[in-house]
Structure 1
Amino acid sequence: MRIGIMLSERPGTDSLDRLAEDLAEVHAEGFSSAWLSQIFGLDALTALAVIGGRVPGIELGTAVVPSYPRHPAALAQQARTVALAIGPGRLTLGVGLSHQRVIEDVYGYDFAQPVRHMTEYVSVLAPLLAGDDVAFRGETLSAAVDLGIPNADPIPLLLAALGPRMLRLAGQRAAGTSLWMTGPKTIREHIAPTITEAAQDAGRPAPRIICALPICVTDDVEDARTRAEKAVGFYGGLPSYRAMLDREGVSGPVDLALIGSEDQVAARVREIADAGATDFVAVPFTRGDSAKRTRALLTSLIG
């Protein structure tokens, strides 16, 4: 199982410079990949173009770009431009639906048919990422596009897929899935079997299953759990993540966080690998000594 890390943007006009410094450290420590989320801060793809140009040689990915606010042809154009800027074989594009309260309340789009929307979105996005032209007319979107960007390689596409229909779509049309708030039991019993069967039926390679979870090596477990609750507790109120927490049999996001001693956290990481994840993306949420211990453990596992 490959081990990557989620980069965290910090406030300030020098945030891109600091992200580049963080990326250089991540690369030097041997992590296989670095990821950026797309929420309401920096534009993830633009930021990756900037910092990826300064730090060569490590996979960079979005986890994930919401689909609704961007036409798939425009997103493919941006992604292919970023890939051209940072070099071939480095960019992985993670795309997801986001959540009803974000898409409807913030952006004003209709969230009534999310699976149909993503199915049609991928029908445009996937071939454009592969360098093909597209002529498509669907119920929720249409496109007739041929992008003239001279990319050397196709750009891998990951879907944030949790439910059965989205997982089947990811297996049939994408390189894999990017997970959040999903534990090893759910990966083993639900995620891996569903997406792998769909990929096999479609004659596609085995899919990537990327598991991202909060992580903290510490002797003060209660303090870390309190910090985790502040950082990620609200995800338990979002229906798609609540369904994964219920499948896992835990009460909330804090119970999925990898918190404890080096041995305890390492055992949790190995459990994720044994469940069928191809990648673990660590999401640190503390600073100071616990952050140093967490990075030290992760680099030891890489080795």
Structure 2
Amino acid sequence: MTVRSLHLPVAAQPSVDSFVELAALGERYGYEYAWLPETWGRDAVTVLTAIARETDEIGLGSSIVNVYSRSPALLGQTMTTLQEVADGRLRAGIAPSGPAVIEGWHGVEFERPLRRTREYLEIMRAVMSGETVNYDGDIFSLSGFRLRCDPPSEPVPIDAAGMGPKSVELAGRFADGWHAIVFTPEGLENRLEDLRRGAELGDRAPEDVRVTLSVTACALENGARARRLARQHLAFYVGAMGTYYRKSLARQGYEEAATEIAAAWANGEHDRAVERIPDAMLDDLGAAGTPERARKELRKFERIDGVDDVAIGFPRGADRDEIDATIEALAPER
């Protein structure tokens, strides 16, 4: 059975308390997880700690923290501590992110992202086991240390995010779950084949790798407003966030539209970039419109065999009332 979760806003919020309130609202409405992204706003660790202190049941997770700005040992320590604070409700989501963030914001060369992700997975698990860590990888070598506290009583599952065939295969082979974003139903099914192949290479059952799909959603009585917000959000990701999303959409049959959106955005024609998103593309990638329409669109993702969790995300331009309305309209029991 597919569960429904929250992918908390990537856009700036007024305060840490705003994130806590949204997660608490999600808990009240029965959402399974509150996933928190980390880009160049508030850090995920502090916010997740605050959420853990003010909630009791909803699962908590990072989706995602990158594998360049913190060492793998530090991430292992961090997730150990967060699991303690969260009373066993944590899942850790990691991924390379992309060159725009890693090089432009963190000032670190974006190199060997897949190998780096694999080594993070292995080192984090070693750290969180509580045993002495001895690791000799292509990128990292560690020896002689172990946690100076008890390891998590409830092991922390580590998920990996990715869009390309090789990154998804890596998640299937080495991670406890895969996080997907900006996928059409058909495109997701294609990548699920890569996930299954990775699981087989790792001598694992594909169903043991938990699949979380983040879907941009906006459910408002003013359906036109909801769809406009979703279009603006998609145009930003295709136009401003490097080539990853554009290449992914090209693989999914939207190469011409993605190229036009990116070109318009690069020329400063943001309104034109938004207008280049056809209705079919918008519906293929999200769930936006009136509450009735958004619920219908969301179900097409939940019906995909192999998807365990559909996490609703929110357009960057949505205000707090619009986010709250969407959370209520798309609550799991509805």
TM-score (norm 2): 0.81
CA contact (8 A) 2:40 2:105 kept: no
% identical aligned pairs: 26
CA contact (8 A) 2:133 2:142 kept: yes
Aligned to 1:242: 246
Aligned to 2:295: 266
Tell me the secondary structure at the aligned position of residue 177 of structure 1: strand
In structure 2, do the counterparts of structure 1 residues 80 and 107 end up closer, same or farther at CA, with 3 Å as the change threshold? Answer: same
Aligned to 2:30: 30
CA contact (8 A) 1:219 1:261 kept: yes
Aligned to 1:92: 91
Q: CA deviation at 1:220?
A: 4.4
Q: 5+ unaligned residues in a row in structure 2: which ranges?
A: 259-276
Q: Which amino acid aligns with 1:214?
A: T
Corresponding position: 1:106 with 2:137: no
Aligned to 2:312: 282
* Bigger mean CA deviation after superposition, 141-150 or 39-48: 141-150
Distance of 1:292 and 1:82 partners within structure 2 = 26
Distance of 1:292 and 1:125 partners within structure 2 = 35
Q: CA deviation at 1:204?
A: 3.0
Tell me the secondary structure at the aligned position of residue 302 of structure 1: coil
Q: CA deviation at 1:162?
A: 1.7
Q: 5+ unaligned residues in a row in structure 1: which ranges?
A: none
CA contact (8 A) 1:2 1:302 kept: no
Q: CA deviation at 1:292?
A: 5.2
Q: CA deviation at 1:101?
A: 2.1
In structure 2, do the counterparts of structure 1 residues 210 and 138 end up closer, same or farther at CA, with 3 Å as the change threshold? Answer: same
Distance of 2:246 and 2:12 partners within structure 1 = 28
Equivalent positions of 1:1-303 (< 5 A) are: 1-8=2-9, 11-12=13-14, 15-88=15-88, 90-144=89-143, 145-150=145-150, 151-190=152-191, 192-205=192-205, 206=207, 207-218=209-220, 220-237=222-239, 238-250=242-254, 251-252=257-258, 255=282, 256-275=285-304, 276-285=306-315, 286-287=318-319, 291=323, 293-299=325-331, 301-302=332-333
Q: CA deviation at 1:189?
A: 1.9
In structure 2, do the counterparts of structure 1 residues 161 and 126 end up closer, same or farther at CA, with 3 Å as the change threshold? Answer: farther
Cα distance per residue 1:184-210 (max 9 Å; x no partner) = 1111122x1211232244233421111
Q: CA deviation at 1:293?
A: 4.7
Distance of 1:129 and 1:264 partners within structure 2 = 44
Q: Which amino acid aligns with 1:280?
A: V
CA contact (8 A) 1:3 1:302 kept: no
Q: Which amino acid aligns with 2:250?
A: D
Distance of 1:21 and 1:219 partners within structure 2 = 23
* Bigger mean CA deviation after superposition, 264-273 or 289-298: 289-298
* Bigger mean CA deviation after superposition, 20-29 or 152-161: 20-29
Distance of 2:118 and 2:99 partners within structure 1 = 17
Q: CA deviation at 1:39?
A: 1.1
Aligned length: 298
